[in-house]
Amino acid sequence: MKKFAVVEIAGHQYWICENDELAVNNLKDKAGNKIKLEKVLLVANSKIEIGQPYLKGRVVEAQVVEHLKGDKVRVATYKAKSRYRRVKGFRSQLTKLKITKIN
């Protein structure tokens, strides 16, 4: 059985394994910093541990790889019969994490 965990990062839950890279909502840590994710909901290796809601003493270590922008989302608005049209764009700020260790 492959070792994996479910963690909560910035209000979202992620299913992760060691050496995974994932993009999460913007974190304030600088690129290259190592962080500890303490909101661990589930850990599975040879047996499954489930927290209520979090597991005490379990920590997932990750490293901030880079900060980047997500895909552009176009938002168009208009008002009928008045020739009013506007198009706005939005790109979310993301942080790429590399999971180094699940303790």
How far is Cα 78 from Cα 93, in angstroms, rounded to an integer? 27
How far is Cα 34 from Cα 100, in angstroms, rounded to an integer? 9
What is the token pair recorded at 3? 């070792």
pTM of the model: 0.82
74 located within any domain = no
How far is Cα 41 from Cα 98, in angstroms, rounded to an integer? 19
How far is Cα 9 from Cα 24, in angstroms, rounded to an integer? 7
46 located within any domain = yes
Number of domains comprising the chain: 1
For the cut 90, the answer to whether the pLDDT of residue 4 exceeds it is yes
14 located within any domain = yes
- Coil, strand or helix: which one is 11? coil
81 located within any domain = no
CB 38 within 8 A of CB 55: no
For the cut 90, the answer to whether the pLDDT of residue 1 exceeds it is no
Per-residue model confidence as pLDDT tens digits over 14-52:
999 999 999 999 999 999 999 999 999 999 988 999 999
Give residue 31's domain range: 4-66+96-102
Torsion sign over Cα 60, 66, 72, 75: positive
